[in-house]
Amino acid sequence: MHELTLPSRTQTTRAATAFDVERVRREFPTLDVQLNGRPLVYLDNAATTQKPVAVIESLARFYRKYNANIHRGVHRLSVQATNEYERARTSVAKFLNADFEEIIFIRGATEGINLVAQSFARPRLRAGDEILVSHLEHHANIVPWQMVCEQTGAKLRVIPIDDRSDLELDALPKLITERTRLVAVNQASNALGTINAVDEIVAAAHAHNVPVLIDGAQAVSHMPVDVRALGCDFYVFSGHKVFGPTGIGALYGKRALLDAMPPYQGGGDMIRTVSFGKTTYADPPQRFEAGTPNISGAIGLGAAVDYLTELGVERFAPYEDDLLAYGTELLSAIPGVRLIGTAERKVPVLSFTVDGVHPHDAGTILDQLGIAVRAGHHCAQPVMERFGVPATVRASLAFYNTRAELDQLASGVRKAIEVLG
């Protein structure tokens, strides 16, 4: 077994006190609700995040003031809705350091990965080709590749993980072969929190001219993302995990790749001309946004990334590191608690089991105490299998959580052991 070291992204907690968490909490109305008659302790942020007033109001404003369909209308409301929708695309492009045309609005990370699997990978794959993923992926970054493998005869290969839950990148030279057509990995693991060295993975893949998709669903709310600096070919994330609405997300694709890809779905808004003889398609991003999109969702996502940019990840990342280190310390001091995922670089996720207590039972006791955590396999069954457990309890944090809430989590776990252990 490895000795437990306290994880961090920045290896420092120096700025932890400079972040005014109480002020930030006031911007999130849901943090004020009661759960089972107690003040909510919301520790399920990897599943979905709470929304700041800025996002809630952007949605309300759309439906109250200028609800209309976009792109085809000549009336004022439609023009305003179109402008706000496209302004949101500009915000997301800035957020990722991409160009406006490189951002496609999608339902979420899941749809973005399916889009790349079907529109980019499928036409290029031949029997015997390979797609490389990691053992640390969410099902959303496994199943779409398995489906395209079934459709084409390609094979899925897997980067292994070590006992601390770091990817074994030493294996890359063997795993990236002349048959590899795409590498798809997450930047941060939802189940265990590991931050992956995606820069190294991109470099290794590009050395063989292999494109890379990065699943940033768990990264964007915790670290700055610069797709140009990363050099990745595709990047996906979901709005609801970054303080925005559900049913919306973004796919970044390098312009040249998007230009060469066929549409994912057909319908209105993605065409240049339609006739029964021949239809021609619009340029990206419209080519990939068939039908009426989630207009309010995109506007809400724009508000969310603007909010995050203004808050400043450089301000809250050290604060989150402090929370993670504190929570790690508290939980590892409880006899019978086994922390799973002890990588050195982590987003603030605490995944653990408790001897003699089923994770769902622990989750139920915590719920009775007003503490919302997730218990289960976290849509990452291969990860659970790798660590020999069917499920874990997962407390996943955001910048609006506090040390006091982690104290409550630790005493809740002790209570669960007392009652059930």
Listed residue (192, 198, 191) closest to 216, CA to CA? 198
Asked if residue 152 binds ligand PLP (CB under 6 A), the reply is no
Asked if residue 230 binds ligand PLP (CB under 6 A), the reply is no
The residue from 6, 158, 271, 379 that is catalytic is 379
- Minimum CB separation of residue 150 from ligand PLP in Å reads 20
- Minimum CB separation of residue 32 from ligand PLP in Å reads 25
- Minimum CB separation of residue 110 from ligand PLP in Å reads 3
- Minimum CB separation of residue 218 from ligand PLP in Å reads 5
Residues 6+ apart with CB under 8 A from 323: 348, 397, 401, 402, 403, 406
Asked if residue 186 binds ligand PLP (CB under 6 A), the reply is yes
What distance in Å separates the CA atoms of residue 406 and residue 313, rounded to the nearest whole number? Answer: 21
Helix (H) or strand (E) holding 376: strand 374-376
What distance in Å separates the CA atoms of residue 420 and residue 417, rounded to the nearest whole number? Answer: 5
- The DSSP symbol for 116 reads I
- Minimum CB separation of residue 109 from ligand PLP in Å reads 4
Asked if residue 138 binds ligand PLP (CB under 6 A), the reply is yes
Q: What is the total count of residues that contact ligand PLP (CB under 6 A)?
A: 13
Asked if residue 215 binds ligand PLP (CB under 6 A), the reply is yes
Judged by CB, which is closer to ligand PLP: 107, or 157?
A: 107
Query: Catalytic site residue 149?
Result: no
What distance in Å separates the CA atoms of residue 92 and residue 193, rounded to the nearest whole number? Answer: 24
Helices (H) and strands (E) in the chain, counts: 15, 17
Asked if residue 238 binds ligand PLP (CB under 6 A), the reply is yes
Asked if residue 190 binds ligand PLP (CB under 6 A), the reply is yes
Instruction: Work out the number of other CB atoms within 10 angstroms of the CB of residue 212.
Output: 22
C-beta separation of 214 from 141 below 8 A: no
Judged by CB, which is closer to ligand PLP: 219, or 413?
A: 219
Segment 76 to 135, residues that bind ligand PLP, using CB under 6 A: 108-110
Judged by CB, which is closer to ligand PLP: 108, or 263?
A: 108
Helix (H) or strand (E) holding 212: strand 212-215
Listed residue (173, 237, 235) closest to 200, CA to CA? 173
Judged by CB, which is closer to ligand PLP: 138, or 222?
A: 138
- The DSSP symbol for 161 reads B
| Contacting residue, 24, 116, 121, 140, with ligand PLP by CB under 6 A | 140
Q: What are the structure tokens assigned to 189, written together?
A: 């693991």
- Interface residues with ligand PLP (CB under 6 A)? 108-110, 138, 140-141, 186, 190, 215, 217-218, 238, 379
User: Which sequence positions are flagged as catalytic?
Assistant: 379
